[in-house]
Structure 1
Amino acid sequence: MTVLSAALLATVALTGPASATALPTVPPRAVDISDIRGYPRQSTLPLWPDNPADASIPIGVLPYDEIAPKLNALQRASDRVSARVAGRSAGGYDLYAVTVTAPESRTEARQQETWKRLIEDEPARAQRDRKLLAGYKTPLFVNANIHGNEWEGTDAALRVIEDLATNRSPEVAALLRRNRLVFNITSNPDGRVAGTRANAAGYDLNRDLTIVAQPETNLIRDLIIDTKPIITLDLHGYVNPTLLHPSTPPHNVNNEYDLYIKHGLPNALAIEEGLRGLGYAETQRARIPFRDDEPGVWDDFPPIYVPSFAMLQSSIPYTIEAPLNPRGSTLTPAERVRRSGINTDVHEVAIRTSLRYIQDHRAEVLHDQAEVYRRGLAGEPLRDIPDGYVPGWGPEDNYNTTFPRSYVIPTGTGQRSEPAAARLVDLLIGSGGRVWRAKKAFTAGGKSYRAGSYVVDMHQPKRGLVNSLLEPGADITDRVGDLYAGPAAWSQGLTWGATVDVLWNTLPGVHLERTYDGRAEGTLPAGRSDLRLDLRDAADLLAVNSLLAKGVAVYRLEDGSVVVPGTPANRKLAGAEVKARAVSFEPAPRGWRGTPLDRVVVGYIGTVEERDTLADLGFEARAVTAATLAGTLTEDVDVLLVADNVDLANLTAENRAALEGFLARGGGVVGLGTAGASFSNAAALLTVTATAAASLASGVANIVNNGGPVTTSAIPHTFISQPVWFTHLGANVEVEQSYAADPLLSGWWATDGANGQAAAANQASIVRGVSVAGNGVVLFGTDPTFRLHPKGLQSQLGRAVLWATRR
């Protein structure tokens, strides 16, 4: 697997969502100290053509094409400013990272890097290092404009940069000798230009920090990890009055929350005081959810947000929601500019106040950042935080977990999917965690593991981050009646398709070597046998679709696996897939019989999530709507994936004829949620009653796989977001998967009522059948496409598509 250094990221164009095998960029071994350069590190940023249609212009903020010229001018004017193109957005725009600090010689920069590493690697020593405490430049990170139509954070950042670059006062000079400020100037230029919340790929970037499916979030993650900021500011709009963290419960159970809230609340109060000083009627008070809201209204529970992720990196994070919405056709041009001006002032106050807080509490915030890492390395339990620890802290705020001693991610026969294991390891390392590989075979917890298996020693600096990704999660149903947004549990350890074993009290007694990337090795059996491939991961589906595209004969067996005849030419092509995707073929069973497959084209009625999941599986996907059935549901479309509601009763005659023609020629249907079930019923395919839980219900569910072409070899848990279950099944409907008697493992889902867990217990979560007319149909009550998160469910969707083409 290719490993890109931070330096290379400055020149690599990142142009779209990561595919199933294009795993997130992971950091290499630490850059050699001798390679560290001093500051400034200036570059001439490429210019973009003037764009009169930029949605920033009517708001009165800086259009995207004027950002590079401004940064270039500031670099020419000041040796305190270093700007670079640090990546590319999904839409192809440059992403700008800017560092502001006093000039440093190479020797000084190397010393800063040495101290920064010491804080994480030897935190107890760092806490006592007088030279470090006196000379370390404390970092502040500002992430601006992650939602494209929340513009003003960019302008506030540029205003602060310009002042620090040009202000020659002794106070500013001293400030920059003591600090580094790092700015992600516009983390969503696609949305800034278009006036949209999402990026050009259609994703809300502030929901992507644990998946890192988008290039923009890849950069945000890397900047946080590399900068190691004391305070992180994520600049948003629009909530009136200004909203700023800290948040309501539920709190992520893996955080050293005592070390956060002791600083998070006082600095929030200081920002509020600074806002009053602006003198605007609209800024005379702030909304601090921890102080002002009921539990669940604005929580920091899932690590999908920039601040929640940053807290797991030992930063003191804030979402800052500026108060005045400048959008809307009812506002005059002057009012838009007035509002955006106030919002810019609000964000500037947040930046300057936070910088001042770091200076006023320097010794304590440095000690506490290192203390997070020290506790992790020492394996100390999370602290019980007493009521009244800070004003407003009570029993409702106490969320914690117990850390295991280690995790093992097996390789070889003990591993369900080698590509899934490598993907998970890359996520852990890329997110700042540490992973080791066993140099020899070993036994632990009553199981034998081969050499090369991954071991995650939980005595490590960022154990909270690692555990947040690997542990099952917590059932918070009885603790909170609301959440700002799901998911209420995520667990890449359970939902990404890899086998992950927990060792509660043991670190394997084998020599371990730290690894810096996940490595997967596939297999191709020797001899002349036909080749069977069990479809356990998106990588397996990619291999199948790649072979089909090359004209290889592929057959689907009744259990959903596939067989490739073992001709010399086929074996050569299969070997290439083993090398490219680490898939594992085995000898096909003797006397096998299968259904021949052909290249599959999928029309989808849904969102970018369906589009990109199908792409990750290697299917050709075409967007379809009720209004475009006639133009897109052409003869070569084999399967229709239905994830959004379609009103079949009100189709035009032309579109109805197209749908009827598709079904008449045996087109398959895969449906997601209540939308898929409604389509199936209305089109007289399969008869089911679909019931959905409340919209808030989400997390990791316990399920029972009954086997069959969709769920043979499926993972033993599933991911849910507003789970659906199927009852009153028609005569031709078979149950492939059901919710367990106790459906919720972790997350939030009301226990009782018509939409609660009790109603879903033992009911079908995936069904399939053949319609009277011969259409293959599969219906999912789980969510295999949610924000590209549930990697372990993607193969189930791919298998369903292949089965639905059976006619």
Structure 2
Amino acid sequence: MESKQRFLTILTLLLLVFLLTTPQGLWAGKNKTGGKSSGTSWWNVEPEDEVPSSAYDSILYSQIGPKLREIQKNSNRVAVEVIGQSAGGRNLFLVTVSAPGTSGRFGHYKSLRKMMIRDPEKALRKLDQYKDFKVPFFVNGSIHGDEYTGTDACIRLIEKLAYDDSEEVKAILDNMIILFNVVQNPDGRVLGTRRNESGFDVNRDFISQTQPESKATAALIAEWNPMVFLDLHGFVSPMLIEPCSPPHNPNYEYDLYIKWALEQAKAMEKSVFDNTGHTSQIPFRDWDFSTAGYYWDDWPPIYTPMFAMYHGAYGHTLETPSRAEDGVDAHYWAVWGALNFCVESKDEMIRDQIEIFRRGFLDLPQAVVPADIISQAAYPDFEELDIFLQEFPAAYVIPEAGPMQLSPHQPAKLIQFLLDNGVEVEKAVADFVLNSVEYPKGTYVIWMDQAKRGLANTILEDGLNVSDLGIEDLVFYSPPTAWSHPLLWGVFRGRMEEKMAIKTSRVTRADKVKGSMESGSVQGYAYAPTSIAAFRATNDLLTRGIMVKRLKTSYLDAGQELGPGTLIIPNDAVLADELVNKWGLDLLAVDEVPEEAVALCKRRIAVYGDEGVRYCLETLGFEYETVSRSDLNAGAITGYDLFLNKSRSWGGLNEAGQTSMVEFFENGGDYIGLGGTGIHFANDAGLTDFIPEFSWDPDAIIKLDYHMPDGIAAGFNPVDYAYVLGAAWFDEESLPEGFSITASIAAGDFLTSGFWPGWNASGAAGMPVIIHGEKESRDIVLIGIDSTFRGHPENTFRLIGNAIYDGME
């Protein structure tokens, strides 16, 4: 009896250990913070008002957690994990489906996937040894919240793979680990909106990763390097199955991608037709661009599947043709067709995926897409387009600090962004000289002979001028056609064309930014607004009621010139230490704080703008309140100090709203106008009496000349860069008295990259693009670039911060 009791005790302990250590949370699941769930159990979701599909009985977000829990409890093939929370705090569910017993080998499979990156030739040899090697297959559900069908298709597919014992399912599970991001945008699903609760289209955010949803998915892509990535959307009829139309971004190894992506698309097309009767279109194959004038391109890395392609995936967007139940069917059968195609073609597909990485690892040239897989009807200008074969540099180099960088904050963020997304970064162990520039020991070096060179290059390069490709009526599906983290995040980086014999060592994290402080007996400490951190620190101090002053004009202190926009705190050792150690700021000792320095205060800011404007203000640490047209028409502008406007036209207000705005400005209310709409609003409201030149054509990165010294330009280089999606510029001769030029579009060849047909004949070269002035005690700032586009061009966020501070007196 005693031995039996001992046996039961041991058995119980072993069972407890098994339950607690089972990989991937097969029984208990994982939950990072809980989100909007009850208690700590991710499957207990707090019910809330939801907007379901109007076309069929779609599963509610609140039902997804319990449903996944039920499947997990009843199938030993399914693991559920919470990989983070949405902007609105709702859980993001990752479901991993694999053959029983496979989950214990996930680490092994991931290590083999990582070998593809670290030593692709060795990985190819390993494939011959591991015949049971399983490849990750990723399905992304409903990144646009009101495209309900994707998530419902995911649930159906999970159930099929969890319970079905057919030979077909067995073959799929024998060859693949299937990853389902079940509801990529839970906020949108609950609210019935395309965007998340912060107003972002998550499927435009992957090159910026401003949102928690895109960050979580990008982390999974970097972790798993999936062989296939399917993104479930709607609604296009006939069903649209990528690959895309041209032009294709040159940072892909497109010949290897299209070889399998096109055949996989055909397999999905057949599966959909055989099981639902829906026909499909494949843009790469079917569209005649010589007459269409419309494109479904894969140029920008903002879309989820395109971003996955930089990690070697055969990526596809699927646009189901119906909002109703048969739209769920179409997605289901498309994915099913892709799964079966991979069963048949996995070995060759994985070899070509590894070849993508091998080319980068060995610094091999790209290959022209073979003619036998090119539809000439779909690609009439291919001979001209093969100019897009990429010539990669040997390396990019980024000093972590020093005179070449505005501040160390931006380089640190960029380096961490590269590392988080699977790009290998190293550091120089000694000083070196490149292109007559001296770089110190500790400079970051991103060698381009690495597996993910395409991703590294698309993040770090200037981009291409695609204004004249020789394709008639070319239209890109969605901006931007130009992006460059160094140029738009304010990071100096050098380009090494030929490999140099410099010694480097691998880094796994960007170094923490360290501030500095001049010593001595002083009256205060000054710092420049050269970083996002400087604004966040300043706004934090103001929120706590701590005095911060700002120079309106240049000031000479002990032989050192402090420019307009310089920020000054009192001689307080605790405060100074906080700015140095918490915020990483460099403080200059000030012998005397000039009397004309303006004491800053918290301002009540009314904002009419998009998600980019809101993200900019939140990133800088400003408090603000959004106002609607109804608010303005009801006189809600009263009581604010500043109106920041990007997208409210004057004509869209009724008479009462216009009268309220006039009274606001007559009472000294300040105004910041962004873009064409914001600038025209100033004219219509009587704040200015000149009409800017405006063009909708630009979608580009341009070079700016900043006019120094200037408070709005504080913290910028004399020559810097900006993004324009549409642009407004001014005639210098017609600027009213009291207005100053902050920045002009550079004279000559100002276009760095992007799409601006006729840019060199636009008349924009050398013209003022940012101006500011004072009229009857109100400050007015007009900005003709897109300084906040989708939260990406962080360097020009600081223009908004300077403009807000500049209106204080």
TM-score (norm 2): 0.88
Unaligned runs of 5+ in 2: 1-23, 554-562
Give the total of aligned pairs.
Answer: 749
Q: State how far apart, in whole Å, the 2-side matches of 1:585 and 1:638 are.
A: 30
Q: Match of 1:304? A: 302
Q: State how far apart, in whole Å, the 1-side matches of 2:662 and 2:160 are.
A: 65
| 1:801 corresponds to which of 786, 793, 804 | 804
| 1:381 corresponds to which of 365, 387, 393 | 365
Checking the alignment, whether the CA contact within 8 Å between 1:213 and 1:788 is kept in structure 2 is yes
1:408 match: secondary structure: strand
2:369 match: secondary structure: coil
Using the TM superposition, give the Cα deviation of residue 316 of structure 1 relative to its aligned residue in structure 2, in angstroms: 0.3
Q: Does 1:320 align with 2:327?
A: no
Q: Match of 2:18? A: none
Query: RMSD over aligned Cα, in angstroms?
Result: 2.5
2:689 partner letter: T
1:702 partner letter: K
Residues 555-574 of structure 1 aligned to structure 2 (within 5 Å): 555-558=550-553, 559-567=563-571, 569=572, 571-574=573-576
Q: State how far apart, in whole Å, the 1-side matches of 2:274 and 2:486 are.
A: 48
Unaligned runs of 5+ in 1: 1-5, 17-42, 327-339
Q: Does 1:84 align with 2:72?
A: no
Q: Does 1:603 align with 2:606?
A: yes
1:68 match: secondary structure: helix
Checking the alignment, whether the CA contact within 8 Å between 1:673 and 1:780 is kept in structure 2 is yes
Greater displacement, 369-378 / 736-745: 736-745
Q: Match of 2:699? A: 698
| 2:753 corresponds to which of 741, 746, 754 | 746
2:307 partner letter: F
Q: Does 1:477 align with 2:467?
A: yes
Greater displacement, 665-674 / 103-112: 103-112
1:232 match: secondary structure: strand
1:703 partner letter: L
Q: State how far apart, in whole Å, the 2-side matches of 1:185 and 1:513 are.
A: 36
Using the TM superposition, give the Cα deviation of residue 535 of structure 1 relative to its aligned residue in structure 2, in angstroms: 0.9
Using the TM superposition, give the Cα deviation of residue 438 of structure 1 relative to its aligned residue in structure 2, in angstroms: 2.9
Checking the alignment, whether the CA contact within 8 Å between 2:242 and 2:316 is kept in structure 1 is yes
- Change in Cα spacing, 1:268 to 1:625, as seen in structure 2 (3 Å) is same
- Change in Cα spacing, 1:581 to 1:800, as seen in structure 2 (3 Å) is same
Q: Match of 1:395? A: 383
Checking the alignment, whether the CA contact within 8 Å between 2:547 and 2:570 is kept in structure 1 is no
Q: Match of 1:246? A: 243
Using the TM superposition, give the Cα deviation of residue 507 of structure 1 relative to its aligned residue in structure 2, in angstroms: 4.2
Q: State how far apart, in whole Å, the 1-side matches of 2:758 and 2:675 are.
A: 20
- Change in Cα spacing, 1:100 to 1:628, as seen in structure 2 (3 Å) is same
Higher-Rg structure is 2
1:677 match: secondary structure: helix
2:730 match: secondary structure: strand
Q: Match of 1:405? A: 394
Q: Match of 2:560? A: none
Checking the alignment, whether the CA contact within 8 Å between 2:529 and 2:567 is kept in structure 1 is no
2:399 partner letter: P
1:372 partner letter: I
1:785 partner letter: T
Checking the alignment, whether the CA contact within 8 Å between 2:426 and 2:504 is kept in structure 1 is no
Using the TM superposition, give the Cα deviation of residue 15 of structure 1 relative to its aligned residue in structure 2, in angstroms: 7.7
Q: State how far apart, in whole Å, the 1-side matches of 2:168 and 2:233 are.
A: 29
Q: Does 1:489 align with 2:495?
A: no
- Change in Cα spacing, 1:670 to 1:151, as seen in structure 2 (3 Å) is same
Checking the alignment, whether the CA contact within 8 Å between 2:566 and 2:714 is kept in structure 1 is no
Q: Match of 2:664? A: 662
Greater displacement, 71-80 / 450-459: 450-459
Q: Does 1:66 align with 2:57?
A: no
Q: Match of 2:413? A: 423
Q: Does 1:288 align with 2:283?
A: yes
Q: State how far apart, in whole Å, the 1-side matches of 2:480 and 2:187 are.
A: 25
Using the TM superposition, give the Cα deviation of residue 401 of structure 1 relative to its aligned residue in structure 2, in angstroms: 2.3
- Change in Cα spacing, 1:181 to 1:527, as seen in structure 2 (3 Å) is same
Q: State how far apart, in whole Å, the 2-side matches of 1:52 and 1:533 are.
A: 48
Q: Does 1:770 align with 2:771?
A: no
1:435 partner letter: V
Checking the alignment, whether the CA contact within 8 Å between 2:406 and 2:531 is kept in structure 1 is no
Q: Match of 1:548? A: 542
Checking the alignment, whether the CA contact within 8 Å between 2:145 and 2:194 is kept in structure 1 is yes
1:720 partner letter: V
Checking the alignment, whether the CA contact within 8 Å between 2:432 and 2:439 is kept in structure 1 is yes
Q: State how far apart, in whole Å, the 2-side matches of 1:765 and 1:757 are.
A: 17
Greater displacement, 528-537 / 583-592: 583-592
- Change in Cα spacing, 1:574 to 1:668, as seen in structure 2 (3 Å) is farther
Q: State how far apart, in whole Å, the 2-side matches of 1:508 and 1:601 are.
A: 56
Q: State how far apart, in whole Å, the 1-side matches of 2:318 and 2:103 are.
A: 35
- Change in Cα spacing, 1:360 to 1:341, as seen in structure 2 (3 Å) is same
Q: Match of 2:429? A: 439
2:256 match: secondary structure: helix
Q: State how far apart, in whole Å, the 1-side matches of 2:400 and 2:195 are.
A: 38
| 1:535 corresponds to which of 503, 524, 529 | 529
Give CA deviations for 1:575-609 in whole Å, capped at 9, x if unaligned: 21232222222234867552332223321121232
Checking the alignment, whether the CA contact within 8 Å between 2:298 and 2:306 is kept in structure 1 is yes
Give CA deviations for 1:306-333 in whole Å, capped at 9, x if unaligned: 0110111110000000012x3xxxxxxx
Q: Match of 1:450? A: 440
Using the TM superposition, give the Cα deviation of residue 650 of structure 1 relative to its aligned residue in structure 2, in angstroms: 5.0
Q: Does 1:730 align with 2:736?
A: yes
Q: Does 1:361 align with 2:345?
A: yes
Using the TM superposition, give the Cα deviation of residue 428 of structure 1 relative to its aligned residue in structure 2, in angstroms: 1.1
Q: State how far apart, in whole Å, the 1-side matches of 2:50 and 2:391 are.
A: 53
Checking the alignment, whether the CA contact within 8 Å between 1:248 and 1:293 is kept in structure 2 is no
Q: State how far apart, in whole Å, the 1-side matches of 2:280 and 2:85 are.
A: 38
Checking the alignment, whether the CA contact within 8 Å between 1:246 and 1:264 is kept in structure 2 is yes
- Change in Cα spacing, 1:795 to 1:389, as seen in structure 2 (3 Å) is same
- Change in Cα spacing, 1:14 to 1:564, as seen in structure 2 (3 Å) is farther
Checking the alignment, whether the CA contact within 8 Å between 1:705 and 1:712 is kept in structure 2 is no
2:105 match: secondary structure: helix
Q: Match of 2:95? A: 98
TM-score (norm 1): 0.88
Checking the alignment, whether the CA contact within 8 Å between 1:141 and 1:227 is kept in structure 2 is no
Using the TM superposition, give the Cα deviation of residue 252 of structure 1 relative to its aligned residue in structure 2, in angstroms: 1.2
1:402 partner letter: E
Using the TM superposition, give the Cα deviation of residue 658 of structure 1 relative to its aligned residue in structure 2, in angstroms: 4.1
Q: Match of 1:155? A: 152
- Change in Cα spacing, 1:520 to 1:623, as seen in structure 2 (3 Å) is same
Q: State how far apart, in whole Å, the 2-side matches of 1:111 and 1:627 are.
A: 58
2:198 match: secondary structure: coil
Using the TM superposition, give the Cα deviation of residue 260 of structure 1 relative to its aligned residue in structure 2, in angstroms: 0.4
Q: State how far apart, in whole Å, the 1-side matches of 2:678 and 2:91 are.
A: 39
1:619 match: secondary structure: coil
Using the TM superposition, give the Cα deviation of residue 185 of structure 1 relative to its aligned residue in structure 2, in angstroms: 0.3
1:764 partner letter: P
Give CA deviations for 1:481-520 in whole Å, capped at 9, x if unaligned: 2110101101012110121121221346133232323532
Checking the alignment, whether the CA contact within 8 Å between 2:395 and 2:448 is kept in structure 1 is yes
Q: Match of 2:458? A: 468
| 1:721 corresponds to which of 720, 725, 730 | 725
Using the TM superposition, give the Cα deviation of residue 296 of structure 1 relative to its aligned residue in structure 2, in angstroms: 5.6
Checking the alignment, whether the CA contact within 8 Å between 2:520 and 2:589 is kept in structure 1 is no
Residues 625-664 of structure 1 aligned to structure 2 (within 5 Å): 625-629=628-632, 632-635=636-639, 637-647=640-650, 650-653=653-656, 655-656=657-658, 658-664=660-666
Residues 129-144 of structure 1 aligned to structure 2 (within 5 Å): 129-131=126-128, 133-144=130-141
2:338 match: secondary structure: helix
Q: Match of 1:33? A: none
Q: Match of 1:624? A: 627
Q: State how far apart, in whole Å, the 2-side matches of 1:443 and 1:263 are.
A: 44
Using the TM superposition, give the Cα deviation of residue 792 of structure 1 relative to its aligned residue in structure 2, in angstroms: 0.8
Checking the alignment, whether the CA contact within 8 Å between 1:240 and 1:322 is kept in structure 2 is yes
Q: Match of 2:785? A: 782
| 1:524 corresponds to which of 504, 510, 517 | 517
Residues 271-286 of structure 1 aligned to structure 2 (within 5 Å): 271-280=268-277, 283-286=278-281
- Change in Cα spacing, 1:664 to 1:155, as seen in structure 2 (3 Å) is same
